[in-house]
Each structure stands twice: as C-alpha cells, then as structure tokens.
Chains A and B, each alone.
Chain A
Amino acid sequence: MPDIVTTDRLAKRYREHPVVHDLDLRIPEGCVYGFLGPNGSGKSTTMKMLLGLVRPSSGEIRIGGRPMRRSTRRELLGGIGSLIETPPGYGHLTGRENMRLVQRLLGLGDGQVARAVRTVRLQDHLDKKVRAYSLGMKQRLGIAMALAREPRLLILDEPTNGLDPAGIEEIRGLLRRLAGDGVTVMVSSHLLGEIDRTATVLGILGGGRLLFQGTRAELFARSAPDVLIDTPDPAYAHSLLSGGFESRLDGTSVRLAGLDDRATAKAVAHLVGAGVDVHGVRRGERSLEDVFMDLTGGGGL
C-alpha cells in the first residue's frame, strides 16, 4: 500500500518555542490513521501543517506523492476534506444554507452534497438553524462540508471531542464506512478509547515527538505486560522489591512493571533468597490504554 501522506523531519517552532519535532509520518492509503496524543502535544499544529494552513519551520510534506507548498496548496486542498479544532458552520443559517455555501464555492453537484449529508445522517435536520444544532450535529455538519468535495483524504481533528457515547459511536461508524469506501482518514484524539478500535494504524505523539507509529498489534508487542507475583505476604514482598523494581501492591499479588524475562528471574530469586514463599509468577493483562499511558508518560490524559 503506498503512503498517501508522508512527512520528513517535519518541525514547527513558534518563535523559539518548539511545538513539533522531526516528525516522519507515514499514512498508508485507505487506512484509518489514529493520531493520538495528550492535549498540547502538537496534533492540531501537525494537521494544520499537512493542510498548508501553518508553515512548517523545517521538513517536507508530501500528499499523494506531491509536495505541499504555497504554490500547490490550492490544488492539493481540492482533494482533502478537513475539520480542524471547532466544527465550522454559520449559526444564523440553516444546515442546508451552509452546505449550499460550500457547494457554490467549490462548484459541486447536488448529488455530491446530498451524498455527503446522507453519509453523516443529517438529511432530516437541514432546515434547522445551525445555532440550534447539538454539538454532535455540528460535528456531523462539519464532516459533511468536508466530505462534499469527495476527498481521497479526510483530516479530522478531535471529531469526537465533547460528544456523548452515542455520538462517539456514530462518528466511529462513520469513519469505518468511509474507510470502506476507500477514503483515507486521519483522525486525532487525546483519548485512546475514542478511536482505538476504529483506527487500523496508530501514530502516538507526545511533547511534539512521534513516540510510536504502527498497527495496534505492533503497539502491544512493544512493551511487555506487567509481571504479577502471588505470595502469601504481598506487603513484605513489595517492601523487598520496591527498592530495585517498579513495584506496587495489587490485591494478593505484587505487580512489577517493565520487566523482561531476566529481570523477572532476578526478582523471583531476590524474594526466594529473602525467604518469601512464591506461589505463582505470571504476566498480567495489559490494556492498550496502559501502553499508551506508558508511552506518553500519562501526562494530561
């Protein structure tokens, strides 16, 4: 699969303050790319650079193999739908009037607009003023505006932000349908759970750096799950281990994080040497959330 978006050492500094460092994004065509990171990690800034709305301080962006520059921006944007930060929409106009603005500006057909509206299931609310829309409806209108041009690439910045669970599920379903139709979707979130199962490829940003990029399975494989040691006196075991290991009590066991097999053997030997009965040693379950927290240091999530 060729990559529809690639960046090379993409960076952005505001005055001398670095916001994004040396980003090498690879977004395969046809995937749902989950762009994750805590608030302030640089997701919106990166997406704005991809859209040519913010000038990179250094590095290069290619969309569909072509460099994104001032001179190519207009043309490339014709094939990219986007929703950045707050959803757009003129409150004093109806949903239909808002869609008509987009239609007229881009010279789109009635069919394109009607399909976009149906895709986000907004067809029954078009005659309401946007001022009276719920946040979820505003998000969907914003996505419909982005979709009307039938883009190959859709860039959505936190489209689930502030939505209730039903609204989030609605957006997830929409992303899956779009990917099924062959649209590449890049979607950001500061909450892993909101796009976890929808995204086929993940990029995790922390402090402006790309901490991980790959599939969910690759992300799982990257960090070993916790080791759980069952013992009749977990408190004593914990006190013995906490000096040399990242240890905490977990019910009737001691939970040790970040151990490879050798370190596990060492921990067990240490306990046995101190006369602690070890009844069982096993690897615990780890959620993707834990992995994500580890990667991003848990800050601001």
Chain B
Amino acid sequence: MIGRAVANEFAKMRGLRVAAVAGTLIACTAGLSLLTAVTAPAFADPAGERSWEPLLASMALAVPLASPVLLAVLASRQVDIEHRGGGWLLSQTSGITPGRLCRIKFAALGCVVSAATALQSLLLIGAGVLLGVAAPVPVGAWAGYTASVAVVNLVLLALHVLVSARVDNQLVGLGLGVLGSVLAATATGLPPWLAHTFPWGYYALATAADYRDGALVMLAPDHSAVAALGAAGAALFLLATALFDRRED
C-alpha cells in the first residue's frame, strides 16, 4: 500500500513541473557556484593545488541562497493539489490518513530532493574537471558537504510539507521559504551558536570551505550538529504527522 501510494505521488507530479523546479534548483546552485568560483582570485589558475576549495566555498554561498525557496515551491505544489482536488478525503476513504499522506509525499519529494542535491555536487565537480582542475577531488569534503546539505534540505522539505498541509494558503509556505533563503544566506556571518538555533542556519554549519579575512580556508564542518538536526527533524515530523491523524474534526 505504501509503495503504491508513493508511486501515486510520482504520478501526480506530472504536470506540476516538479522536474522543472528541481532542475531550477540544480541550475541555480551549480550555476551560481560556478560563476562565483571562476571569478574568484583563488581560481585564477585552475591547475593549481587548491582549486577545488573555491568551488566548495562558492557552493556554500549558492546552496543556502537558492535551496530554501525552491524546497518551499516543491512542497507547496505537491501538497496544494490535495487541498484543491479534495484529495485528503479521497485518500482517507482509501485508508490513507492525512498524516500518512504527508509522510508519503515527503518520501516521494525526498527522493527528488536527494537526487537533485547529489546532482548539483556532481555537476560542479564535472565542471571543475572540464575547466582543467588537475588536483584530485577531495572526496571526503565534497561527500560530507553534500550529505549535510541533503540532510538540511530534507528537514526543510519536511517542514514545508507540514506547513503547506496545515495552512491552505500556499503564500504562507512560500513566504517562509523566501524568509528561509534570506536567513540561510546571512547565517554564514553569524556566530555558530546562533546558527544552531534555526534550521536554515545549518547550511552554514555544514560549510566545508570559506573565506576568512580574505583568505580561503578549509573548515571543519559540524557534521554532528547536522546529524542532530536530522534526528530532531525526523522525530518532530513523525510526531506532527501522527497529530494530523489524531486531529479528527
């Protein structure tokens, strides 16, 4: 039943331009990263030892800026069709409660978001190779950063699925997404303790390379903080969706 319901969510994506939104996400993050990187002085000689670092650093700029708002769009499109199509009741009469439908939607969208997150990193690595970066790819740093971004993306996706389901007016969710993008983009400048206090701040905590006093440095990302966010997000999402099922009018 669950598998078939997830398959149905993919079928519903037709005509919702989910692929286009996911494509925009990839294009924005990879494209913006690449643009920032190639104009950086540290990338002046792509064949240099440390040429992967400006690429990583520019991702830390582009990803927080573009992701939150596009995640909000994805969640909103997939959830709003249930409000408009009488889908909550339809699912309920087939034995799928509203909370479960939210979890199913998260599973389907989560696949899309995870794939997009992986793809944006791979695209950037591909671009780096094409531009002549000769040094070996720092696999650990890239994989760590990509995984951390995926976790933060999924937590925000879950949040937006809940908001879009709970609040009929989709402008609320989209507004939250825009606010999130602003918060995420400014979080790199905040002290880490402050970035820990809201989910958008965790993009900053995952940053693997950044400029400090004008110099490019590799950082030790706080993977355990991101993992904790993921665990807390999963627990809260399960709790909230269980409450949706309890909340019978």
Contact = CB atoms under 8 A, between A and B. Distances in A.
Nearest to A12: B249
A77 B87 contact: no
B95 A55 contact: no
Prevailing SS type, chain B contact patch: helix
Contacts of B94: 77, 102, 105-106
Contacts of A78: 95
A82 B94 CA distance: 10
A101 B12 contact: yes
B5 interface: yes
For B1, B5, B14, B95, the residue with the greatest tally of chain A CB atoms inside 10 Å of its CB is B95
Contacts of B95: 73-74, 77-78
Interface stretch (B66-74, B78-86, B222-230): B78-86
Interface string A62-95: 0000000000011001101010111111111100
Given A104-B4, A105-B1, A105-B8, A90 B93 contact: no
Given A88-B85, A105-B5, A93 B15 contact: yes
A275 B12 CA distance: 80
B79 to A, nearest CB: 12
Nearest to B246: A55
Interface residues of A, number: 33
B110 to A, nearest CB: 20
B84 A51 contact: no
B12 A88 contact: no
B86 A85 contact: yes
A93 B82 CA distance: 12
B169 interface: no
Nearest to A45: B249
Interface in B121-173: none
Contact of A104 (B11, B89, B93): B11
A89 B89 CA distance: 11
A104 B6 CA distance: 10
Interface string B1-38: 10011011001101110000000000000000000000
A182 to B, nearest CB: 21
Interface in A16-30: none
B89 to A, nearest CB: 5
B213 interface: no
A88 B89 contact: yes
Interface size on B, as a range, is 20 to 34
A51 B97 CA distance: 13
B249 A54 contact: yes
B14 A97 contact: yes
Given A88-B85, A88-B86, A93 B12 contact: yes
A107 B14 contact: no
B89 A85 contact: yes
Contacts of A55: 248
A104 B2 CA distance: 11
Contacts of A105: 1, 4-5, 8, 94, 96
Contacts of A54: 248-249
Nearest to B5: A105
Contacts of A145: 90
Interface of A: 14, 51, 53-55, 73-74, 77-78, 80, 82, 84-93, 97, 100-102, 104-107, 130, 142, 145-146
Interface of B: 1, 4-5, 7-8, 11-12, 14-16, 81, 84-87, 89-90, 92-96, 248-249
14 contacts: A51-B93, A53-B248, A77-B93, A84-B89, A84-B93, A85-B86, A88-B85, A88-B89, A88-B90, A92-B14, A92-B81, A104-B7, A105-B8, A107-B4
